[in-house]
Structure 1
């Protein structure tokens, strides 16, 4: 990432400022935009040949993967705009997608937008129907909120939020999308993976009996860390190395392990009532805010307990998947393409199903576009926001050493990690990693 470019933006509104001034900003965007949102009221919305025009906000690896999945699985779609803080990201994505998808890519030079405020240029473009949001997670609540206010359909990568303030923004955005008739599909692909769907159906039908408890693990090796380059300001460096700053990523439990938390909320039928946990750090580089392991006990309604562990430590044995223990049997739902199986309490197999995560990554984009064209847009931001806040609740339980309740996190918490003033050329404090007993619950 080249951070020595000309200043792409001197500042961008923080989330709290955005919530206060967002209506004015959105009104200006909508006033200047003739939105062709493919709404249910639009007679052309059910025309499968109508081209859905897409913009990508965040052209890094995950964003490139998301737009590739959408262009691969959908007919009559076209990428027309890109936004990122780094022009090189946009150029690489454009070159790769042009090679793979030909006429499905038509990005003119004036539709490559660079800077912290580049997303605004995408949202003010009257030709954009659908935006794919793959910016660092701390920006997701703001970007999704403004996209919906501008009348755009949305695909937003996980997690939806990294703190309580972002959660409240996501709930408001979900409700506004329902009101507007605009879709929001999120990057929780397991909900569209056939073996996950099959296992949940079997559990709902009682094949394992009553759910008693569960275990879930997202344990892997290390993850990338980027050293600061000469000349970088604090803001530039933290966004460049975004994984390691909680206002941007929320630690591993939010940024990565939220996949398994979302799956378990789905299985249990709700968010948990409490979280109590611990963890620590042994191998993270100096300057990283992340822990490298957390173990959380979540208690769900009905006194059902989930023992959840996530870890990123080089040289350790990986384990990624979910096991649900019932009064009659046991359901195992492996991550990736590992498949699902159900046995009775004696180990006799009762049911199994294979699944492909690659297919699920694509299916979420097909479901999104199909729902837009049908005039019945999917809106699922609330469920992913609840899973994301469940991850935040676990993180705060570990960081503080306190039992944390869902009622507190969803109704009382004032936790807002987004910087009060975000200036591309400005200073930001380098946060210290959490120490239980010293970090307070807010």
Structure 2
């Protein structure tokens, strides 16, 4: 069973507000990209050894000098062993994980945090675990790379805010896996949007639509907890549904462009192709309303045989911008539709860049702490899910301050039973 997920910046709160104003995130261009003295070794640990976790390790080891992977943790010892073998073969001089530093179990990450030789922890477990694990890591004095999303519900959001503030107090780093924040064509396009090249922003359309996604059948020897973690994407307490786990990238870009989270969400959607036992919906459409009466129409879908689209269209009073996902690039157009600027995308470089700026920040002693804004984007995605599930208008104030929704099991034991999964039904699912 795989514990791993497969699937901006200032030095503290006061600096955030001074650099960008109280309602907007600082630009990723504020990152210090200058190579720091690589004589300072950085000892890395990985929590969650699946595809995304090993990908994060590869990105960090590829772009940084004098870094070494020294410990690993996962629920599944087979996945753990396989990941160490692959990483050791690829980076024999940068991977040195002794058998005693291979930790297995639902609480195995705690043994990582107790290890004084570890400087930086890469967190890539299923998203439902992220808030508590990141807070524990910060309280242990570790620097953190936290994969997206950083929370799946309001309870996790509040934990993330506490972790952000604690990291600022500690002087430790938290960089998150919102790689578009460091993809150059995104940075440059949004910089021009903020400079007014397309005029005042009026509205936007964002899409993250694709085919189906994996589903893992239960093995006879698995407890409820084991199986749900093994098949984590299909259980909302772990993934937050597709709008949180996957589509947070586009929603984060919208928050970045708009200068902060929306005021409200109204949504619909449904499920047509999900297998029995999955709690996920396979499509959602959300109307977000941002301050200044600016609307964003967002759609996500995972249905086999349908047309895919990953794009963000931002409409202004003087033109419009189109920013595509992955590597398709970004384009700005004037009011007549003539292209006035464009730039290609390089997603691989962005994946590595987030690890470069993290290690640079550790070595420079100028910590980056960006958990708050990524958590706001994660909660924005969760707000869209809650609006769709309940059929209600949902406000940011309700989600961030009033909601009591806490999806994480009250007592989690690897051998414990969990309630039978049930998908949401609008009109019956309550707003909590």
TM-score, structure 1 normalization = 0.90
1:70 corresponds, among 50, 60, 63, to: 60
Pairing 1:267-282 to 2, within 5 Å after superposition = 267-282=257-272
| Preserved CA contact (<8 Å) 2:64 2:359 | yes
**1-side partners of 2:200 and 2:396: how far apart?**
23
- Give per-residue Cα distances to partners, 1:381-421, cap 9 Å, x unaligned: 00000000000100000000000000000000110000011
> Partners of 1:414 and 1:266 in 2: how far apart?
27
Counterpart Cα distance in 2 of 1:145 and 1:257? 24
Name the SS of the counterpart of 2:304 in structure 1.
coil
State the secondary structure of the residue aligned to 1:422. Answer: coil
| Distance across 1 between alignment mates of 2:415 and 2:37 | 47
Deviation readout 1:234-286 (Å, 9 max, x if unpaired):
00000000000000000000000000000110000110000001000000000
Matched, 1:251 2:235: no
Aligned to 1:213, what secondary structure does the other structure show?
A: strand
Q: In structure 2, the residue corresponding to 1:70 is in which secondary structure?
A: helix
Alignment partner, residue 357 of structure 2: 367
Q: How does 1:1-400 map to 2 (within 5 A)?
A: 1=1, 47-400=37-390
- Answer yes or no: is 1:429 the counterpart of 2:419: yes
Q: Deviations over 1:129-158 (max 9, x none)?
A: 000000000000011000000000000000
Q: Structure 1, unaligned stretches of length 5 or more? A: 4-45
| In 2, Cα distance between equivalents of 1:344 and 1:333 | 15
1:431 deviates by 2.2
3-state SS in 2 of match to 1:439: coil
Q: Which residue of 1 aligns with 2:396?
A: 406
Distance 1:430 1:170 in 2: 28
| Inter-partner Cα distance in structure 2 for 1:2 and 1:425 | 15
Distance between the aligned counterparts of 2:316 and 2:131, measured in 1? 36
1:75-120, Cα deviation, whole Å (9 max, x unpaired): 0100000000001111111111111111100000000000001000
The aligned residue for residue 9 of structure 1 is none
> Contact conserved, 2:2 with 2:229, CA < 8 A, in 1?
no
* Aligned-residue RMSD, C-alpha: 1.0
Conserved 8 A contact 2:263-2:291: yes
SS of the counterpart of 2:286? strand
1:132 is paired with a residue whose SS is strand
| TM-score normalised over the length of structure 2 | 0.92
Mean Cα displacement is larger for which, 175-184 or 423-432? Answer: 423-432
Separation in 2, partners of 1:363, 1:166: 27
Deviation at 1:208, TM superposition (A): 0.3
Q: Measure the CA separation in 1 of the matches of 2:96 and 2:292.
A: 53
Instruction: Give distance in 1, aligned partners of 2:221 and 2:183.
Output: 44
In 2, Cα distance between the equivalents of 1:133 and 1:321? 28
Q: Distance in 2 between matches of 1:2 and 1:261?
A: 27
**How many aligned residue pairs are there?**
400
Structure 2: runs of 5+ lacking an equivalent: 4-35
Deviates most, 339-348 or 46-55: 46-55
The aligned residue for residue 31 of structure 1 is: none
Q: What does the per-residue CA deviation read over 1:321-353, in whole Å, with 9 as the maximum and x for residues that have no partner?
A: 100000001100000011000001211111111
CA–CA distance in structure 2, aligned partners of residues 47 and 270 of structure 1: 35
- Aligned partners of 1:429 and 1:73: how far apart in 2? 44
Runs of 4+ displaced beyond 4 Å:
none
SS of 2:238's equivalent? coil
- Is the 8 Å Cα contact of residues 2 and 75 (structure 2) preserved in structure 1? no
